[in-house]
Amino acid sequence: LVAVLFVSAETSFEGHVVIRMQIIDKKAFETFFKIFPHDSLDVWSNDGAITMNGIMDIRFTPEQYKKFLTVKDLFSSNEAKFEVLHYNLQNLLDMEAKQIEAAQAEFDKKLAAVQTAEQKSSLYLSDEYFKSYHKLEQLIAFENELIKAYPNMISKEVIGKSFQGRDLYVYRVHAPGSFNPSKPALFVDSLMHAREWITPPVVQWSIRELLTKYGSDQKITDLLNKANLYALTAVNPDGYVHTSSNRMWRKNMRSDSSGLHGVDLNRNFKAGFGGSGSSGDKRSETYRGTAALSEPESKAISNFLNGHKDIKGGIDFHSYSELILRPWGKSSSASPNEQIFSQVGAEMQAGIRSVHGKSYSNIRASQLYVASGIFTDELYESHGFQKVAHTIELRPGRFGGGGFILPPSQIIPTCQENVPVMLTGLKYVSQ
Ligand code: 0X9
Ligand code: ZN
């Protein structure tokens, strides 16, 4: 009975169909848009909206898929075409769950075999931790182990609480000794969107890299001598907890008298708030909320950054598509800092490529699609960061079809190739 109850609490994606499509023909677009106003679909492919010309990966519920079949004939030319990526999304999710269960069991087995606090700490600090995705408590446990192992290089503070009341932790990483707040600093964050599971390990790996290689790696030593790092590894802890029963959840857990709807935190910032590429409809995946910074998570970040004049740049980790994005997101024009943002992006791109040969595209956020109230623009416009104000979209690539599902075997390579991104950020804030 317990098992049955547990299963029934899960959101199933049985019969959900993921379709890749491209609509160039105006009539087909109009028909499609009429039956699927963009608020009603989950557009995976980053832009979060239905657009003409672009290649879109979209998740259809079984009901939506039935509707799509009635207009399918419109999609049979080069001007309007589609391809099914997943006939049943639940199959992909079941496969992921199986992989993670096995990887997690391995880690749990090793954790259970541990005898002493030192052994536990070295297990957490080893690569074993990065062979699986972990629940929120274990993300925090990992971070606490770092603090225990390197008390003179990392500490944490609570900068606010999530909608459901969870603490939002920022980790301060610095050269050994007492924290010197007069050094310039870089801010990084992950897990703004709940389903983007690859983002926290990427930031955690880089933190571990700084801690363990200070003193032996010249580049890291020099950088940390000049600059500090602040890391918020779980912007949206509530949403992340929710993804263990609803894998495709993106927004925070804002609810009202009509129930849970959630706000897209990456549409809730001040810069361009309310503009295009965000929705006023609560049901939308890109619902912007009732006002700029209406959400406790975005408000906490904003207060924190306002209170830290030492912070000179920020990097926001998302998935997927393998991109390096820079302002603007809210408008297709180039920002006054286009040249330097693009140069910093190019250096990140080269660094990524040097590790496993992956080519992340270095583009303006709006080249993906115009979106408003996003954090990249906030870093630049509201906080005045002049060189580093980037969003990284991690693996997988845009056309692999996996979307937010990245096999655990790819966690470590993704983490490794993003160390140079963090180092580039540190370099530019310290110049
Ligand atoms: O839509 C977003 O918030 C980001 N993509 S994600 O798939 N991680 O949700 C991209 C934001 C980048 N900005 C623009 N496209 N303007
Ligand atoms: Zn995201």
Summarised one tens digit per residue, pLDDT across range 21-74 is: 999 999 999 999 899 987 789 999 865 678 888 899 999 999 999 999 999 999
Least confident interval from 30-44, 153-167, 195-209, 252-266: 30-44
Query: In terms of DSSP H, where are the helices of 309-392?
Result: 338-356, 365-368, 375-377
Residue 135 has pLDDT above 70, yes or no: yes
Q: Identify whether the C-beta of residue 107 lies closer than 8 Å to the C-beta of residue 131.
A: yes
**Which ligand is nearest to the Cα of residue 239, counting in written order?**
2
> What average pLDDT score do residues 94-103 get?
96
339: left (phi over 0), alpha (psi -120 to 50) or beta: alpha
For residue 306, the model assigns a pLDDT of: 98
> Which ranges of 36-129 does DSSP label H, i.e. alpha helix?
62-71, 89-113, 117-125
Atom number in ligand 1 closest to CA 328? 16
C-beta of 279 in contact with ligand 1 (< 6 A): no
Closest ligand 1 atom, CA of 264? 3
User: What is the distance in A from the centroid of ligand 2 to the CA of 196?
Assistant: 6
Query: What is the position in ligand 1's atom list of the atom closest to the CA of 391?
Result: 12
State the pLDDT at residue 335: 98
Amino acid at 89: L
Contacts of 92 by beta carbon, 8 Å cutoff, 6+ apart: 86, 402, 405
Cβ neighbours of residue 120 closer than 8 Å, sequence gap 6 or more: 111, 114, 145
Q: Are 406 and 395 in contact (CB under 8 A)?
A: yes
**4 pLDDT above the threshold of 50:** no
DSSP letter assigned to residue 380: I
Residue 111: pLDDT over 70: yes
Instruction: Decide whether any atom of ligand 1 lies within 6 Å of the 266 Cβ.
Output: yes
> Is the minimum distance from the CB of 325 to ligand 1 under 6 angstroms?
yes
> CB atoms < 10 A from the CB of 167, how many?
14
Atom of ligand 1 nearest to the CA of 371: 16
- Over residues 274-298, the pLDDT tens digits come to 999 999 999 999 999 999 999 999 9
Bridge pairing between strands 167-173 and 185-189: unpaired
For 229-283, write each residue's pLDDT tens digit.
999 999 999 999 999 999 999 999 999 999 999 999 999 999 999 999 999 999 9
Which residue's structure tokens are 């547990």?
A: 6
Q: Give the span between the Cα atoms of 120 and 154, in whole angstroms.
A: 18
- 272: CA distance to ligand 1 center in Å? 14
- Catalogue the long-range contacts made by 115-120 (C-beta closer than 8 Å, 24 or more residues apart): 117/148, 120/145
Ligand 1 centroid vs 374 CA: distance in angstroms?
A: 8
Provide, rounded to the nearest whole percent, the portion of the chain with pLDDT above 90: 92
Single-letter code of the amino acid located at 83: E
Task: Report pTM.
Answer: 0.96
Return the ligand 1 atom nearest residue 318 CA. Answer: 8
Distance 184 CA to ligand 2 centre (A): 27
Residue whose CA is at the smallest distance from ligand 1 atom 1: 46
Q: How far apart are CA 273 and CA 291, in angstroms?
A: 8
Closest CA to 404 of 201, 250, 239: 250
- Determine whether the shortest distance from the Cβ of 48 to ligand 1 is under 6 A: yes
**pLDDT at residue 3, rounded to an integer:** 43
213 C-alpha to ligand 1 centroid (Å): 33
Please give the distance, rounded to the nearest whole angstrom, from the Cα atom of residue 393 to the centre of ligand 2.
8
Tell me the C-alpha distance between 219 and 98, whole Å. 40
Query: Ligand 1 pocket, 365 CB below 6 A?
Result: yes
* Secondary structure (DSSP) of 393-413: EEEEETTSS-TT---GGGHHH
If one counts every other C-beta atom within 10 angstroms of the C-beta of residue 44, the result is 24
Question: Which residue(s) pair with 231 in the sheet?
Answer: 171, 188
Mean pLDDT over 401-421 rounds to 97
Q: Which of 193, 317, 392 to mutate to test the pocket of ligand 1 (most atoms within 8 A of CB)?
A: 193
Is pLDDT above 80 for 354? yes
- In short, whether 275's Cβ falls inside 6 Å of ligand 1 is no
Give yes or no: 393 in active site: yes
In this structure, the chain runs to a length of: 431
| Dihedral angle sign, alpha carbons of residues 188, 193, 199, 200 | positive
N- to C-terminal Cα separation, the chain: 61
Q: Residue 20: beta bridge partners?
A: 57, 83
Nearest ligand to residue 331 Cα: 1
Give the ligand at the shortest distance from the Cα of 264.
1
Q: Is 323 in the pocket of ligand 1 (CB under 6 A)?
A: no
Catalytic hit among 196, 285, 297, 393: 393
Cα–ligand 1 centroid distance for 47 (angstroms): 6
Q: What angle do CA 379, 231, 179 make, to 5 degrees?
A: 110
Ligand nearest to the CA of 393: 1
Cβ(253) to ligand 1 under 6 A?
Answer: no
Please identify, by atom number, the ligand 1 atom nearest to the C-alpha of residue 267. Answer: 3
